[in-house]
Amino acid sequence: MSNTQDTLIEITAIEKWFDRTKVLDKVDFSVARGEVVVLIGPSGSGKTTLLRCINHLESVQGGRILVNGKPIGYRTSNYRLVEDSERNIAIQRRDVGMVFQRFNLFANMTVMRNITIAPRLLLGLSEAEARERAEALLAQVNLSEKAEAYPHELSGGQQQRIAIARALAMTPKVLLFDEPTSALDPEMVGEVLTVMKDLATGGMTMVIVTHEMGFARQVADRVVVMSKGAIIEEGRPDKIFGAPKHPVTRALLNAVMH
């Protein structure tokens, strides 16, 4: 894919090994601005690893990852890729928000502080500005009354909505979701998906790893199917869910839908 202005994430031929197991096999993947991409695939197919490469929580052994036109995690030196310093990687990560399966709210901070700390320290917002932003985000995720609560005092669904608000407070260019509803009790899945739907409608660029096929069908602009470290099929959700071509996709959809 060409590096046009509309391309926000551009991944070219990345390779990743865990010891002697190849988990990503020359994967090409790109995301346009405003696009909502859902990654599906059997467990162990590499979808979470691919997602974690986008903000360099995982390193790669080959290939190239551009976010907003800039390489992440690596810089070129004499035409060779070298691992960037932690400090530079930290700066690059500000544009990429992430929501984890297990929420990972900072356990030692209130909800308010969870949301304000990064904008305060990293974006230089004043306490008042950061709080104002946090209050707006809390209203957006319907949890204004929980500002002074600690993470462990909240349900899983509430924690995950706060985690989304925390990520949004950095005004990222893209949000990555790593199975955001997998650790939730069934009755809490809906409240998180509703927030995500609103974000998608609002034009947020999102890359989502999920098993929620109904949600994927409704929200995704594009569904990407992975198997054994490679992308085996991709396309509009009606196409993937309506007429899957690859046998692995068919088996996966059968297993999840029934």
Partner 1 sequence: MHFDWSYFWQELLTPSSAFLDGLGLTVLMAVLAEIIGLVLGLVFAQMRLSKFRAAQAMASFYVWAIRGTPLLVQIVFIYTGLAAAGIVRFQDITFDGFNFSGNLQAGILALGLHEGAYMAEIFRAGIQAVESGQFEAAKAIGMPPSMMMRYVVLPQALRIVLLPIGNQFNILLKNTTLVSIIGVSEMMLVTESINSATFRTFELYSVLGLYFLALTSLWTLFMKLAEKRLELRSLRPAFAAQAAGDL
Q: How far apart are CA 219 and CA 222, in angstroms?
A: 9
Binding mask 28-57 for partner 1 (x = CB under 8 A): ---------------------------x-x
Query: Does residue 247 contact residue 238 with C-beta atoms inside 8 Å?
Result: no
Binding mask 200-239 for partner 1 (x = CB under 8 A): ----------------------------------------
Query: Does residue 66 contact residue 9 with C-beta atoms inside 8 Å?
Result: yes
What totals of helices (H) and strands (E) does the chain contain, helices first?
Answer: 9, 12
17 forms part of the interface with partner 1 (CB under 8 A): no
Distant-in-sequence contacts of 71-79, Cβ < 8 A, 24+ apart: 72/96
Element (H, E) at 203: none
156 forms part of the interface with partner 1 (CB under 8 A): yes
Nearest residue (CB) to partner 1, 98 versus 213: 98
Query: Does residue 48 contact residue 57 with C-beta atoms inside 8 Å?
Result: no
177 forms part of the interface with partner 1 (CB under 8 A): no
Q: Taking CB under 8 A as the criterion, which residues in 99-138 touch partner 1?
A: 100, 102-110, 117-118, 121-122
Which stretches of the chain bind partner 1, using CB under 8 A? 55, 57, 86-87, 90-91, 93-94, 96-98, 100, 102-110, 117-118, 121-122, 150-156, 159, 163, 166-167, 170, 185
